[in-house]
């Protein structure tokens, strides 16, 4: 579980509420179901115009990517690739089959399967790069989806405020309703701007970052398997892969 994805919004909302209370406000004054309905419903209806149903469903599933830690661990991937390289060097490429099921990263499993099947190295690279490109493009769609939600929500919030002000203008003959009416009207704007900047836009940015990390992990697989099939020394492969590992400086010092 990616704790920052949970702690971040909770912290932001808590600080906003504390600020409201310190200013003498009341939490009850910003709880308006009608405003919530206008912003959420209007935003979702608008986003449906821009995206297909599969895109919307995929973006909803991408919430799992936002909440979970990155699926690829560069340190572990490098360790597994070096182990595979040593096995291939001591025994043969066919010996990698017995290690395939124990691998933690799906693209590495695919690469080993293709290598064991005797697939041409150029075709292996092409296959892995195609999968890498398609997955990145798909993740970009989900990133744009949530960023667009962040762009649309504040505008729908303003529409909600306008609707509220129209209602206030209809009751100008009742002075006691003007102040509370205006306050309620602006709650929709609060919901729109708040949801965009606390949830939607940051979600898009984090999903994009995790997609980039996965892209780099797949690049590690391509470089590693290519090195194994070329018969490179495991130490040479390790040097190539160190640039992808966060503690590469520490590894060099330890070597």
pLDDT for 250 equals 41
Is 149:128 a contact under the CB 8 Å cutoff? no
Say how far apart CA 160 and CA 189 lie, in whole Å: 7
Say how far apart CA 38 and CA 33 lie, in whole Å: 9
Closest by CA position to 153, among listed 43, 47, 51: 43
Say how far apart CA 17 and CA 194 lie, in whole Å: 12
DSSP string, 4-31: HHHHHHHHHHHHHHHHHHHTT--GGGG-
Say how far apart CA 203 and CA 198 lie, in whole Å: 8
Tens-level pLDDT at each residue, the chain (255 residues): 888 999 999 999 999 999 989 988 888 888 888 889 999 999 999 999 999 999 999 999 999 989 888 878 899 999 999 999 999 888 888 888 888 888 888 899 999 999 999 889 999 999 999 999 999 999 999 999 999 999 999 999 999 888 888 888 877 777 777 777 777 778 999 999 999 999 999 999 999 999 999 999 999 999 999 999 988 899 999 999 998 886 644 434 333
Please provide residue 118's backbone torsions phi and psi, each rounded to the nearest 5 degrees: 80, 20
pLDDT for 136 equals 93
Please provide residue 36's backbone torsions phi and psi, each rounded to the nearest 5 degrees: -60, -45
Say how far apart CA 116 and CA 71 lie, in whole Å: 25
Which residues lie below 8 Å from residue 152, measured CB to CB, with a gap of 6+?
A: 42, 43, 46, 47
pLDDT for 174 equals 77
Residues in the chain: 255
Q: Which two tokens stand for residue 124?
A: 């292996």
Hunting for tokens 């590894």 — which residue is that? 251
pLDDT for 40 equals 93
pLDDT for 79 equals 92
Say how far apart CA 236 and CA 226 lie, in whole Å: 12
């Amino acid at each position: 579980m990616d704790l920052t994805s949970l702690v971040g919004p909770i912290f932001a909302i808590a600080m906003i509420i504390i600020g409201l209370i310190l200013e003498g406000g009341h939490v009850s004054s910003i709880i308006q179901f009608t405003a919530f309905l206008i912003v959420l419903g209007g935003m979702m209806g608008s986003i449906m115009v821009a995206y297909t149903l599969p895109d919307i469903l995929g973006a909803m599933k991408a919430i799992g990517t936002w909440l979970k830690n990155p699926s690829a661990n560069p340190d572990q991937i490098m360790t597994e690739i070096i182990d595979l390289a040593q096995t291939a060097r001591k025994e043969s490429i066919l010996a990698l089959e017995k290690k395939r099921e124990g691998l933690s990263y799906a693209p590495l499993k695919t690469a080993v399967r293709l290598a064991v099947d005797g697939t041409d190295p150029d075709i292996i690279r092409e296959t892995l790069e195609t999968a890498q490109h398609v997955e990145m493009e798909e993740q970009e769609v989900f990133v744009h989806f949530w960023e667009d939600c962040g762009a649309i929500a504040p505008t729908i919030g303003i529409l909600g405020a306008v609707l509220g002000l129209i209602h206030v203008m209809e009751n100008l003959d009742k002075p006691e309703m003007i102040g509370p009416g205006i306050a309620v009207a602006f709650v929709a704007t609060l919901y729109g701007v708040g949801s965009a900047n606390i949830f939607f836009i940051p979600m898009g940015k984090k999903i994009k970052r995790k997609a980039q990390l996965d892209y780099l992990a797949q690049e590690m697989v391509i470089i590693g398997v290519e090195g194994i099939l070329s018969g490179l020394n495991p130490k040479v492969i390790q040097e190539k892969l160190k640039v992808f590992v966060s503690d590469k400086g520490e590894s060099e010092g330890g070597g």
